[in-house]
Amino acid sequence: MPVAILFDLDDTLITWNTPPDEVWQEICRRYAAGLEGLFEAINKARDWYWGDPERHRRGRLNLFEARREVIRLAFSHLGLDSAALADRIADAYSADREETASLVPDATTTLEYLRGRGLRMALITNGGSEMQRAKIRKFGLEPFFDSILVEGEFGCGKPDNRVFHYTLEKLGVRAENTWMVGDDLERDIAPCRRLGIYAVWVDGKGTGLSTPGKARPDRIIRNISELRGPA
C-alpha cells in the first residue's frame, strides 16, 4: 500500500443514478413538450460548449450559469427568444441532476478501511466551491481527508501540476509513495503519470482504454472498493 492516496470526487466517490440524457429528456417533456427538436438542440449545444477547453474550465466553475448558457444557445438554434424559459429549464435540470447523486457502492467502507490503515488522504476536485462543498457536506466526506482542494478556491484545477505539488506538500509525502484515484484520463491520470504518482483509473462503465493517445494508468479498477484488495 502507498503512504498516501489522492481521490477525485465526481464519478469516483460520487455517482449519478440517472444518465444526463434521461434527465434532459424528462425536463424537456415537463417544460417544453411542444418544442420539437429541443432535446437534439440541447445535445448539439452541450457538445459545442464543453468541447472547448477554456469554456470547459470556465463552465465547471459555475455549472448553474453554464447550463443556462447551453439552453439559451439551444433556443437560438431553434429560433426561439425566451431567456426566462431557457433559464427555468436549465435550473430544473440542475436541481433534478443533483437529486440523483449518491456515493458509489462501498465508498464509506473503503474510506474507513484506508484511514484505518493509517494512510494520508486528500480530495482533489475540479469545479466551483459552492457546488463541490455542498456535495462534500451532503455525503459526510470531510472527516476522511487530511486535505481537500477545490478548484474554485485554489485558483486552478487538474491537470495543472500545481494542484498535485501543493497537495503532496500539504500531506508531507513524496510522489513515488502516493496513489491518485480518479475517472478522468486527461485530468486525473495524465498529470500523475508525468509526476511519478501511481495512477489508478476508475473505469466505472467498463469501457476500457479504447481511445488512442489517452494516458495509460498504472492500474484500472471498476469501483474504489477494489482498493481494499491486493494491487
The domain of 33 spans: 20-99
* Residue 161: predicted pLDDT: 97
Residue where a domain stops, chosen among 51, 66, 99: 99
Pair (154, 167) in one structural domain: yes
Pair (117, 224) in one structural domain: yes
* Residue 85: predicted pLDDT: 94
Pair (79, 122) in one structural domain: no
Name the domain count of the chain.
2
* Residue 157: predicted pLDDT: 96
Strand ranges in the chain using DSSP code E only, listed in sequence order: 4-7, 14-16, 101-103, 120-125, 147-150, 178-182, 198-202, 219-221
Pair (86, 165) in one structural domain: no
Cis check for the bond before 159: say yes or no (omega within 30 of 0).
yes
* Residue 39: predicted pLDDT: 95
* Residue 93 and residue 23 in contact, taking contact as beta carbons nearer than 8 Å: yes
Model confidence, pTM? 0.92
Pair (135, 68) in one structural domain: no
Residue where a domain stops, chosen among 99, 132, 147: 99
Pair (90, 143) in one structural domain: no
User: For the chain, what is the radius of gyration of the CA atoms?
Assistant: 19
**Biggest alpha carbon–alpha carbon distance for the chain:** 59
CATH assignment at residue 182: 3.40.50.1000
Per-residue pLDDT of the chain (231 residues; tens, 9 = 90+): 899 999 999 999 999 999 999 999 999 999 988 888 999 999 999 999 999 999 999 999 999 999 999 999 999 999 998 999 999 999 999 999 999 999 999 999 999 999 999 999 999 999 999 999 999 999 999 999 999 999 999 999 999 999 999 999 999 999 999 999 999 999 999 999 999 999 999 998 888 887 666 789 999 999 999 999 765
Instruction: Write 188-194 long-range contacts (CB < 8 A, 24+).
Output: 188/8, 188/12, 188/158, 188/159, 189/215, 189/216, 189/217, 190/159, 190/214, 190/215, 191/158, 191/159, 191/160, 191/161, 191/163, 191/164, 192/164, 193/217, 193/218, 194/161
